[in-house]
Structure 1
Amino acid sequence: MLNTSNKNNRKMIVIHGGHFSSLRGFYDEVSRLMMKDTDWKVGTLDGFDDILYGGFGVFENNEEIDMVWEESEKSQEDLGDRATRAFYQNKITQGKPFNIELMKQKLNDLNTGKGQTLFDILVEIIRSHHNITLILR
């Protein structure tokens, strides 16, 4: 949901964790919410980062955005260790163009409790955009 009438006159984007249970589903959700009236859809972590800069889709460059992630605990589970292991294993299996050694290291970090899950990575990407305030609910 995109709401342009919150109290600070900031746009609000609401991601519903109940609408998806996989990374592909997350990409579909944010594409639906943020890329209206465009032919481009999110399909990678880098692509997700790119749309958060704005300038196309539903908000402009550096526009102040409140991003609310409803049912974030469900998403944290859905995009947790199991999904992240499968993500890295898939990259390792595919081989090039992926950096296999990096993927193996990230998988090892995850297996030893030091790595980030997909949920952690998505949250970090969002928080790296200083014009976006992330609210986990």
Structure 2
Amino acid sequence: MSTSNNNKRKRTVINGSHFSNLAGFYEEVSKVLTKDINWKVGTLDGFNDILYGGFGIFENDDEVEILWEESEKSRKDLGFEATKEFYENKIKQGKPFNVELIQEKLNKLIEGKGQTLFDVLLEIIEEHKNIVLILN
């Protein structure tokens, strides 16, 4: 059932079959969420930033619908192993990262209580009340 409000929503698709790691996710969202600008997403903060709008396909107050195709593939690709490696790399790198906080997150992940990268990405999207996410 579609309402007139839904018709005003800008729609875009993130396709999980186009990537298999976080760097690939950043490439995909750079391609589908930004247009004609010389700026690429390369961090979780950068991903959050483009969701505020004004960087590409939508403006700050636009209603947006993101369809995440192949989301189960992404859930696996950005799951435990990828997240563990992500945290371990940050710990190895050290500054400017808060190594203690990252170690805590890694420990929680290993205990089965922490968020995966996929979970973190979903949480970032959900913080933006003007964006509706549909996992497919």
Shift of 1:12: 0.4
Equivalent position SS for 1:50: helix
TM alignment of 1:5-84, pairs within 5 A: 8-84=7-83
Q: CA RMSD in A?
A: 1.1
Runs of 4+ in 1 over 2 A off after TM superposition: none
Aligned equivalents of 1:29 and 1:20: distance in 2?
A: 7
Structure 2 regions of 5+ residues with no counterpart? Answer: none
How many residue pairs were aligned? 132
Q: Could you tell me the TM-score, scaled by structure 1's length?
A: 0.94
Q: Could you tell me the TM-score, scaled by structure 2's length?
A: 0.95
Identity across matched positions, percent: 66
Shift of 1:9: 2.2
1:2-57 CA-to-partner distances (Å, cap 9, x unmatched) read: xxxx9622110100000000000000000011111001100000000000000121
Equivalent position SS for 1:133: strand
Equivalent position SS for 2:74: helix
Shift of 1:101: 0.2
TM alignment of 1:94-133, pairs within 5 A: 94-133=93-132
Structure 1 regions of 5+ residues with no counterpart? Answer: 1-5
TM alignment of 1:82-93, pairs within 5 A: 82-93=81-92
